[in-house]
Amino acid sequence: MLLIPAVDLLGGNAVRLCEGERERATVYSDEPWALAAQFVRTGARRIHVVDLDGAFGEARQTDLIRRMLDAAREATAPGCAPAEIEVGGGLRSAQAVEDLIAAGVDKVVVGTLAVRDPDAVAGLCADHPGTIVVAIDARDGIVAVDGWRELSSISAAELGREAAGWGAAGLLYTDVRRDGLQVGAAVEATAALQADIDQLCAASAREPVDVIASGGVGSLADLDALIEAKVRAVVFGRALYERSFTLEEALSRC
């Protein structure tokens, strides 16, 4: 299982929210680039970055993201492939996605755009193979949009199947009721979505699309449960910052 530590950016700081609520933010570092470098030195192969300012409709923190990219690459050991940096948060247009790709981001995460303008995201997937990750932020099985503040009319399963058909590089599945609470990952829902997508890809002779679990991981036992359920990737953050376990301990299990 691919382990992806997360860095959420708000006002230039690395923070974590509870259930996506800005008022419940905890600041963990005023040097997010240093966190990125630390994760790379420890062995992370991908880092998940969320620009919360952008998600809340404010100016995106592009300069800070570039600094994190530079720090991560500088921390890469000689002869090793650099860790991938994937970025999401407030990307409401195809041009915003293109701008991040031009800035050097390896993977770009889109959520609301995939619901509101699926043709644009399908085009981005075609133009940038292996780059576009579709976020499926679900509340009771229905996709939430606009920073989780509004429910759409599409189910998580429906969006997952559509995105797989577009050729998405991955599906980031978040149970928004668990995010930042360390109450355990949505193992059954994530595994069920992966099984559904695997069946679809096999039937249509498409390349497999990984479902990335997100939200709720609070212990090594939570990671073990995901591994046992054959989930292939997971994003987690607060558990690291609260020292529930270390990245070294997590990596040793995978």
Active-site annotation holds for 8: yes
Query: pLDDT digits over 60-103, tens only?
Result: 899 999 999 999 999 999 999 999 999 999 899 999 999 999 99
What domain count does the chain have? 1
Beta strand 13-18 with 2-10: parallel, antiparallel or unpaired?
antiparallel
Percent of the chain with pLDDT over 90: 78
How many Cβ atoms sit within 10 Å of the Cβ of residue 102?
8
DSSP 34-88: HHHHHHHHHT-SEEEEEEHHHHTTS---HHHHHHHHHHHHHTSPTTSPPPEEEEE
Per residue in 90-136, pLDDT tens?
899 999 999 999 999 999 999 999 999 999 999 999 999 999 999 99
Range with lowest mean pLDDT among 76-90, 172-186, 201-215, 227-241: 172-186
**pLDDT digit string (tens) for 1-18?**
999 999 999 999 999 887
Residue 16, pLDDT score: 87
Residue 118 belongs to domain spanning: 2-252
Sign of the Cα torsion 91, 178, 163, 128 reads positive
DSSP code of residue 186: -
106 is catalytic: no
Residue 130's SS3 state is coil
Q: Are 240 and 246 in contact (CB under 8 A)?
A: yes
Instruction: Give me the catalytic one of 51, 106, 137, 179.
Output: 137
Structure tokens at 210: 């990984």
pLDDT of residue 73: 95
- What pLDDT score was predicted for residue 138? 87
Higher pLDDT, 23 or 124: 124
For residues 219-237, average pLDDT = 96
Residue 103: per-residue pLDDT: 94
pLDDT band at 56; cut points 50, 70, 90: confident
Residue 181: pLDDT over 60: no
Catalytic residue (one of 8, 175, 179, 222): 8
From residue 7, give the alpha-carbon distance in Å to each of 13, 27, 207, 216, 228: 9, 11, 29, 15, 26
Query: Which domain CATH number covers 29?
Result: 3.20.20.70
The tens digit of pLDDT for each residue in 146-175 reads 665 656 678 999 999 999 999 999 999 998
The predicted pLDDT at position 148 comes to 57
What pLDDT does residue 149 have?
63
Q: Which of 107, 101, 104, 98 is nearest to 135 (CA)?
A: 107
State how far the Cα of 127 lies from the Cα of 190, in Å rounded to an integer. 28
Question: Which pLDDT does position 253 carry in this prediction?
Answer: 87
Which of 250, 247, 234 has its CA nearest to residue 39? Answer: 247
**Helix segments in the chain, DSSP class H:** 32-42, 52-55, 62-74, 94-102, 112-116, 118-127, 156-166, 187-203, 220-228, 238-241, 247-252
Q: How far is CA 233 from the centre of its chain?
A: 10
pLDDT score of 182 more than 60: no
Residues 6+ apart with CB under 8 A from 123: 94
Q: What's the mean per-residue pLDDT of the chain?
A: 91
First and final C-alpha spacing in the chain: 6
